[in-house]
Amino acid sequence: MTTALETDAATSGTRYILGTAGHIDHGKTSLIRALTGTNPDRLPEEKKRGMTIELGFAELSIDEVRFGVVDVPGHERFVRTMVAGATGIDVALLVVAADDSVMPQTIEHVEILHLLGITNAVVAITKIDTVDETMVELVTEDVREFLSGTPLADSPICPVSSITGAGLDALRGQLEAATEKISRGQTCNPFRMAIDRVFTIQGRGTVVTGSVLRGQVQSGDSLEVFPGGATCRVRDLQAHGSSTEQLARGERAAINLSGIDRGQIERGSELATPGYLQPSPMLDVRLDCLSSSPRPLKSTTKVRLELGTAEVAVRVVLYGDSSLQPGASGYAQLRSGTPIASVHGQRFIIRDETASRTIGGGVVVRPVARRRRREANEQLASLQKLETGSPIDRVEQVLEGYRFERPTELQLCGQAGVEVDELSGLMGELVSSKRLGSVAGSEVTATPGAVEEVSRRLVRWLERHHRSHPELPGRPFDAVVGWIERVTGHRAIAKPLLDQLVAKKTVKDFGKFICAPSFAPELSKADEKLLTEMIAEIKGGAFQPPTLDTVKIGTQADKKRVLRLATLAVAMGELVVIAPKMYLHAEMEAYLRSKVAALVAESGGAAVSEVRVALGSSRKFVVPFLEYLDRVGFTRRDGDRRVLAD
């Protein structure tokens, strides 16, 4: 696989990513050409205009150190491309022209480096051959003053000339020294790479390039494309024109893929170990508003999110405040109409809706977020644990977000910012400290916070019902069990969890109904009298009870009032619903069960006629009685007889 992207070079030595930054026409591309012998401008238009439009690439070798160089455009119209190029860089090469000094894109690029968490930089003062020594000193001092108070304040400054070669050896020395500050973390799998170029080669198919952000990749590996989810296989790997069997964190990669079409992948897509990333349309983030922003950032503002090599339109929804002042920081949720692939701790920037000005940036704290349900203080506490908490705190918060489901190890790794080999110990510690446990004695595990959230939602759901239907004692037991099943996604834990909540007095059982703990049915003295009379009349009717249409209190109350009283009687355990408008006293219902059971035991089954004689009733009542017993699972029909259900 031969590409115009990479140049032939030795592949030995430690590899890092070097990215340029700086204003247009300050000589970034010329400097890279002078350092490497490679012109990173690839496009004819770039060479004709002398202006970098797209990302350019080269390789710089300094003794045993190998830099994959990413040259970014300096024009304000191509800031998105600059951010894409800055993704994954280990050392920034900030370029300032001696004949121009600090300019608008110098400032914006430094702000972007800061927002992306890039603090390791070397400054090159270029074009020193065009000015005198005094001007070089003045510009150097100007740069020092500009960088003071920023994370790049202590960066070494090297005056150079790409024409004469003056200062280039000193610059190479400073770049090599900068690698001593780099930690080679996240070289173990899972693998991840943000894609900054996609093209096809005749006879080879789809090729993608990018900086390896973490992990390793080998020829033959299966990978997944995010956010689309298409799968593919690595056919061949190259680093700067040389084929290799493996690439790792900190290297520029060109990957020839099989099993995927050019149209299924684009700049902004990501390649990763299958199952590692879980794209989400909502991200919870710590957001910083630049002090240079001309106005506060208001909640619900539409902005452009620059994340990795992707640009996505999102809406900023602030937590707690209606706006974020310039220079301030706060938590926010970024909402998009399309899924976004990210991991915990990933840096990003935001620009205004037209992508003409950088507003701020920050760090992803919850890559898979949901619309807010918790109280504000609880939500903020959760986000703070995700941002600044220990690994076990972060894993606990991710598990709590999944409620009663269990993410895979790879998903936990990406969303909690931990390594896969740490998870076993962290999960064991969560269980031993009772921060993760079985739900109501089942095999389903969850955090106490997840159970508490279901409890709070259940109480609120019941309270809304009470406000809408004050005449009713609550919701039927089975309806509440069904609600818990839908919310948790597990049938096995629904009834045991409800029983547990009743035992803890989180909710109250009221006969066959469940109500909020603060609820108690209120009856006037007149209603209490009518209720007592109705219960006595239905009990007195034995196995030929009056229906709600014929009960005597119907002459003193309307149908709605009679139904409410009957429902309360059921909730109190005094009456049992046999059929619409037909009720049986609880003592008679128990006698009905015992009599049918006795008939079955005597003759192996009970016919309608036999039950009618035994109860001294009529077919009009006995048929609904037996259908009720079938419905509640006490009996089942076997031909024209009833037998006890298994």
Q: Is the pTM of this model over 0.95?
A: no
Burial pattern 283-313, b for ≥16 Cβ within 10 A else e, equals bbbbbbbbeebeeebebebebbbbbbbbbbe
Mean pLDDT score, 601-629: 94
Is the separation of the CB atoms in 440 and 496 below 8 Å?
yes
Is the separation of the CB atoms in 178 and 120 below 8 Å?
yes
Listed in sequence order, the residues at least 6 apart from 374 whose beta carbon sits closer than 8 Å to its beta carbon are 382, 453
Burial pattern 335-369, b for ≥16 Cβ within 10 A else e, equals bbeebbbbbbbbbbbbbbeebeebbbbbbbbbbbb
Q: Is the pLDDT of residue 1 over 50?
A: no
Instruction: Please state the φ and ψ torsions of residue 485, each to the nearest 5 degrees.
Output: -60, -45
- The answer for 521, left when phi > 0, alpha when psi is -120 to 50, beta otherwise, is beta
Across 552-617, the runs of DSSP E, i.e. the strands, are 575-579, 582-585, 606-607
How far apart CA 18 and CA 175 sit, in angstroms, is 9
Report cis status (omega within 30 of 0) of the bond before 73.
Answer: no
How far apart CA 367 and CA 232 sit, in angstroms, is 24
Across 265-368, the runs of DSSP E, i.e. the strands, are 270-272, 280-289, 297-298, 301-307, 310-318, 323-324, 329-340, 347-351, 358-366
Q: Spell out the SS3 assignment of 613-642.
A: HHHCCCHHHHHHHHHHHHHCCCEEEECCEE
Is the separation of the CB atoms in 475 and 513 below 8 Å?
yes
Residue 636 pairs in a beta bridge with 643
Is the separation of the CB atoms in 459 and 483 below 8 Å?
no
DSSP state of 183: -
Listed in sequence order, the residues at least 6 apart from 607 whose beta carbon sits closer than 8 Å to its beta carbon are 640, 641, 642
Question: How large a percentage of the chain has pLDDT more than 70?
Answer: 91
Residue type (1 letter), 274:
P
Q: Strand, coil or helix: what is 189?
A: coil
In 74-217, which ranges are continuous DSSP H helix? 79-86, 104-115, 133-147, 168-178
Q: Which of 206-210, 315-319, 454-458, 468-472 has the lowest mean pLDDT?
A: 468-472
Is the separation of the CB atoms in 67 and 175 below 8 Å?
yes
Residue 68: its pLDDT value, please?
Answer: 84
Mean pLDDT estimate for the chain? 88
Among residues 412, 411, 407, the alpha carbon closest in space to that of 426 is found at 412
Number of other residues whose CB lies within 10 A of the CB of residue 102? 19
Q: Which tokens sit at 3?
A: 């590409």
Q: Which CATH number fits domain 192-272: 2.40.30.10, 3.30.70.20, 3.30.540.10, 3.10.20.30?
A: 2.40.30.10
Domains 192-272 and 280-366 share a fold: yes
Q: Spell out the SS3 assignment of 401-436.
A: HHCCCCCCHHHHHHHHCCCHHHHHHHHHHHHHCCCC
First-last CA distance in the chain? 70
Is the separation of the CB atoms in 279 and 299 below 8 Å?
no
Ranges 41-55, 61-75, 475-489, most confident: 475-489
Q: What CATH fold (topology level) applies to the domain 529-646?
A: Arc Repressor Mutant, subunit A (1.10.10)
Report cis status (omega within 30 of 0) of the bond before 227.
Answer: yes
Q: Spell out the SS3 assignment of 510-542.
A: ECCEEECCCCCCCCCHHHHHHHHHHHHHHHHCC
Q: What is the pLDDT of residues 140-164, one digit of tens each?
A: 999 999 999 899 999 999 999 999 9
Q: Which residue has the higher pLDDT, 255 or 250?
A: 255
Q: Is the pLDDT of residue 554 over 90?
A: no
Measure CA 371 to chain center: 10
DSSP state of 87: T
- Host H or E run for residue 46: helix 44-49
Q: Is the pLDDT of residue 4 over 90?
A: no
Q: What is the pLDDT of residues 79-121, one digit of tens each?
A: 666 666 567 789 999 999 999 999 988 998 899 899 888 899 9
How far apart CA 255 and CA 245 sit, in angstroms, is 11
Q: What is the pLDDT of residues 5-55, one digit of tens each?
A: 333 333 445 788 898 889 988 988 899 999 998 876 544 443 433 433 356
280-366 is classed in which CATH architecture? Beta Barrel (2.40)
Q: What CATH fold (topology level) applies to the domain 14-181?
A: Rossmann fold (3.40.50)
Q: Where are the domains of the chain?
A: 14-181, 192-272, 280-366, 376-432, 450-515, 529-646
Q: Which tokens sit at 367?
A: 């890559």
Listed in sequence order, the residues at least 6 apart from 48 whose beta carbon sits closer than 8 Å to its beta carbon are none
DSSP state of 76: G
Q: What is the pLDDT of residues 362-379, one digit of tens each?
A: 999 999 998 876 667 888
